[in-house]
Chain A
Amino acid sequence: MKGYAGKYLTVDLTRGKTSIGRVEESMAINYIGGYGFGARTLYDMLPNPAQIDPLSPENVLIWWTGPLAGTISTAGNKYSVFAKSPLTGIFGFGISSGLFASELKSAGWDGIFFTGRSEKPSYLMIDDDNVELRDASHLWGRTTWETEEMIKEELGDESFTVASIGPAGEKMVRLANITNERNRQVGRCGLGAVMGSKNLKAVAVRGTKDVEVFDIEGLVRFIADLNERCQGPATEKYRIYGTPANILVHNKLGCLPSYNFQRGTFEYAEEVSGEMMLKTHVKKIIACAGCPIACDHVNQAREAYEGATSSVDYESLALLGPNCGIGNLDIITKAVEICDTLGVDTISAGNVIGWAMECYEKGILSKDETDGIDLRFGNGEALLEALKRLCLKEGKLGSLLAEGVRRASQIVGRGSEKFAMHCKGLEWAAYELRSLQTSTLGFAVSNRGADYLRSGSYQVDVKGQVDRLRLDRSRGKIVYDGENIYAIIDSLIICKFTRGIFKSVDEFAKLYTLVTGLSMTGDQIIKAGERIHNLARCFNVKCGISRKDDYPPPRAFEDPLPDDVVKGAVIKREEYDEALDGYYECRGWSRDGIPTKRKLLELGLNKEAEEVGVEA
């Protein structure tokens, strides 16, 4: 088979030993790559995940590219990282893009597994077949951006690509991410903390080998067509304003979370809109390797924050902006820079600080508990200070926020759990819960926790294809279909911004076959998507997940939205139950949300049927 390098590297950090594993053809066909490979290997490597402390040496850290990495495939240079998440305690997973995946494949590797824990700070250097664990003592404490520069300098070649953690990951902040090429992150689930727990500061990789493609001429022709489509109307929104275009649209629809999800509109939306940002702050739009769209809007802050530079997307903008009551792009640009350099996920950070601000305003957190910070909504200096302390686990406030919103609210108690906006411990992203109810179902059943990236189910809500202020049984099917397709997108790994340019799933299969030479139909690849999703759910079931965990936070049911356009919107519990039933039915799971033996056997997941599956 082509496309794949055909082998992965295992690094035993405790013993400092490496070994090589083979990627079999059956693995390739059944699990495609990325998400699928991650689900398969995490399930196999952690047979008793409930017993594993995510920050102990027993956890594993798995990196996979997909079959397309290293080729000219449209927006197809992406890699994924997996572990049991220290934030959620379940299937932890994140995807990043940039050149890293291309270099890794070109070096001859599909993936890397890290086990154990290095005695002292180390980083892994991969230079084609030459693999070396190197001392990282001098890098410990450095920001992600400094680390990249220093490693390139040390290895004497700019063409090394570096993925690293910042001080937050070193200190095992549960929101810590992994950064490559400054602006690209494996953002969610706290995988940077797992890296930190293993004393692994970075991975630097350089590859010089050809990536073999089955039908290279056919691939180049197909990509020319796809790339052409990427200049059409379906992707315009990403190219011009980038995802921040969502701010005003969401504001008009009453689904822009503000003030820790107390509201669905924001009075300073214009000030932080994509339109405004492009005019006043965007200095350059850049692209990931092999991407014809280019969505990455790099901002330069002004005035008091002059010199701050960061890549600002919708989620970062909305969570660190409106959700914290901030209507100022300079502060937001600085806030994102703090997150990116010190190494935490902007979504989770903006969410947990929004929660802390609500606690503070309600008198649940005293000024003593915030270490003297006046943590009111809209206080930009307070946001920046709280962020720094979160990243460095400084003081009472920093240590509290570093735990993520679920744990922090459990520590604080006093009713603050009611407005801790998460599902399964993962902080809710910037899609309002009550005014986008299909989206909420999609978030809540996701394998990662509150996740906007697993089904795209918000699309039917915002396009007016369903009544977004109600739920019914039929929404289950929408989420189910979305999840299966997204599982494929995340396994091939291609950027979701291209999903509008593929005419059907047959084109995903075509792309797969052109690159790998393995025959694949649209139906088969969708089946693989379903298999992958079920496998990750099985891992979660082993961690104790069931129906009880597939619900949005109490605010969704208890606090009607106050905003004009969606006044009184709230989720009715019986409607939600019904929609969830509808979802489980499509999935072929029990009413308690556990995959049935029958469904698992149908998908060829025999081992899982035995270990996890229930009778119908």
Chain B
Amino acid sequence: MLSGEKSLLTHHRVVLLELGEVQVEFIGRFRELFKSKNTIIEVGSEISLLSLLKKLSEKAGFDVVSHFLGSSGEPMEEYSLIILNGKAVNLRRLSEYVVKPGDRVVLSPSVAGGG
């Protein structure tokens, strides 16, 4: 990675931190759904990942949570994945993860492989 690009990223993160914002990136189907590669969500100090998804739902106008949890609350791991600061989230515990300003969240289809 170019060093200029890297410092830009770091700078970006600092700005997010100051504004109390979280950047959410989209991969695969989520790019189509949100018609964008990313968006910014204001979280104030910190909120749970589940609350973040609800805020995203309000902004997008559709139920984002339903892409991760089935109708009876079961995780749909073969379908979708959330990456919080580079780590895959256990979908069973969405409300336990805390999201802080400056964090990076990725909504993604789950990994496909093994033919």
* A interacts with B: yes
Q: Which of B40-48, B54-62, B71-79 contacts A (4 or more CB under 8 A)?
A: B71-79
A250 vs B77: C-alpha distance when bound (angstroms)? 15
Partner of B90, one of A238, A463, A496, A497: A463
Do A313 and B115 touch across chains, with their CB atoms under 8 A apart? yes
Partner of A496, one of B83, B85, B91, B115: B115
A8 vs B97: C-alpha distance when bound (angstroms)? 57
Do B115 and A465 touch across chains, with their CB atoms under 8 A apart? no
User: Which of A252, A314, A452, A565 has most chain B Cβ within 10 Å?
Assistant: A252
Do B29 and A236 touch across chains, with their CB atoms under 8 A apart? yes
A67 adjacent to chain B (CB < 8 Å): no
Partner of B108, one of A249, A459, A496, A564: A249
Do B112 and A463 touch across chains, with their CB atoms under 8 A apart? no
Mark B62-96 against chain A: 1 for CB-CB distance below 8 A, else 0: 00000000000000111111010111111100000
Interface of A is mostly: helix
A295 vs B111: C-alpha distance when bound (angstroms)? 14
Mark A226-268 against chain B: 1 for CB-CB distance below 8 A, else 0: 0000000111111011110110111011100000000000010
Known A-B contacts A241-B28, A245-B109; the reply to A254 vs B115 at CB < 8 A is no
Do B110 and A564 touch across chains, with their CB atoms under 8 A apart? no
Partner of A464, one of B1, B27, B28, B89: B89
Mark B103-114 against chain A: 1 for CB-CB distance below 8 A, else 0: 000101111111
A274 adjacent to chain B (CB < 8 Å): yes
Do A464 and B112 touch across chains, with their CB atoms under 8 A apart? no
Task: Please report the number of residue pairs spanning A and B whose Cβ atoms sit closer than 8 angstroms.
Answer: 109
Residues of A within 8 A of B77 (CB): 463
Residues of A within 8 A of B88 (CB): 253, 461-464, 468
Q: Which of A72-130 contact B (CB under 8 A)?
A: 97
A566 adjacent to chain B (CB < 8 Å): yes
A295 vs B23: C-alpha distance when bound (angstroms)? 32
A453 adjacent to chain B (CB < 8 Å): yes
Do A295 and B110 touch across chains, with their CB atoms under 8 A apart? no
Do B112 and A248 touch across chains, with their CB atoms under 8 A apart? no
A559 adjacent to chain B (CB < 8 Å): no
A458 adjacent to chain B (CB < 8 Å): yes
Mark A278-293 against chain B: 1 for CB-CB distance below 8 A, else 0: 0000000000000000
A496 vs B27: C-alpha distance when bound (angstroms)? 23
Residues of A within 8 A of B25 (CB): 252
Q: Which of A206-240 contact B (CB under 8 A)?
A: 233-238, 240
Report the nearest A residue to B84, measured CB to CB: A464
Partner of A243, one of B76, B80, B86, B113: B113
Do B90 and A452 touch across chains, with their CB atoms under 8 A apart? no
Do B78 and A458 touch across chains, with their CB atoms under 8 A apart? no
Known A-B contacts A237-B112, A243-B115; the reply to A267 vs B28 at CB < 8 A is no
Residues of B within 8 A of A415 (CB): none
Shortest Cβ distance from residue A312 to the other chain B in the assembled complex, whole angstroms: 13
Shortest Cβ distance from residue B84 to the other chain A in the assembled complex, whole angstroms: 9
B31 adjacent to chain A (CB < 8 Å): yes
Do A565 and B86 touch across chains, with their CB atoms under 8 A apart? yes
A578 adjacent to chain B (CB < 8 Å): no
Do A234 and B83 touch across chains, with their CB atoms under 8 A apart? no
Report the nearest A residue to B83, measured CB to CB: A252
A275 adjacent to chain B (CB < 8 Å): yes
Report the nearest B residue to A243, measured CB to CB: B112
Mark A527-570 against chain B: 1 for CB-CB distance below 8 A, else 0: 00000000000000000000000000000000000001110000
A254 vs B76: C-alpha distance when bound (angstroms)? 22
Identify 5 residue pairs between A and B in the complex whose beta-carbon atoms are under 8 Å apart, listed by A's number.
A249-B83, A452-B114, A462-B88, A463-B77, A463-B90
Residues of B within 8 A of A (CB): 1, 25, 27-29, 31, 76-81, 83, 85-91, 106, 108-115
User: What 3 pairs across the A-B complex have the smallest Cβ distances?
Assistant: A565-B86, A464-B88, A233-B79
Residues of A within 8 A of B (CB): 97, 233-238, 240-243, 245-246, 248-250, 252-254, 267, 274-275, 295, 313-315, 431, 452-453, 456, 458-459, 461-465, 468, 495-497, 499-500, 564-566
List 19 additional contacts besides A253-B86, A462-B110; criterion CB under 8 Å: A240-B29, A241-B109, A243-B112, A243-B113, A246-B113, A249-B28, A252-B25, A252-B106, A252-B108, A253-B88, A254-B86, A313-B115, A452-B113, A456-B113, A458-B113, A462-B81, A463-B91, A468-B88, A497-B114
